[in-house]
Amino acid sequence: MDRPSALTKLGLGVLAFNSALAIYNSWGDTGSVLFVLAADAALLLLFICLREFERVGRARGRNIKVAVWLLTALLTGMFASRVAPLMPPVVAAVIWAMAVATAAGGFWTFFLSP
């Protein structure tokens, strides 16, 4: 497998630094620390899946597309679950509707569109 580019390494470095700051600022709030760690794990898995999809190609990448869709839907739901409670009820409903529409749109794009 090809080595990651400098831009990829920079992006992962920024993610690691940002995550370390988030964990530092959230220390003592177990839920927030676990959220950051779970989001990072999902993002890293998504990165790995996308690189593998690039490597194997579209014809053999069906299972990888399933994993990519599941990870993106998971991340969308995770972030909606953190933002929606901070908003008024009507805005929270819009946030959840957008999250569902995003996951449904991704499913349609990946698996149903020609």
With beta carbons less than 8 A apart as the criterion, state whether 65 and 106 touch. no
pLDDT in tens, the chain (114 residues): 578 789 988 999 999 999 999 999 999 999 999 999 999 999 999 999 988 988 887 777 788 999 999 999 999 999 999 999 999 999 999 999 999 999 999 999 988 887
Amino acid 110: pLDDT: 87
For 66, how many CA atoms within 13 A lie in the half-sphere containing its CB?
A: 3
Amino acid 1: pLDDT: 54
With beta carbons less than 8 A apart as the criterion, state whether 72 and 107 touch. no
- Could you state, in order of their start, the residue ranges of all structural domains in the chain? 6-112
Distances in Å between the Cα of 101 and the Cα atoms of 34, 91, 105 are: 26, 15, 6
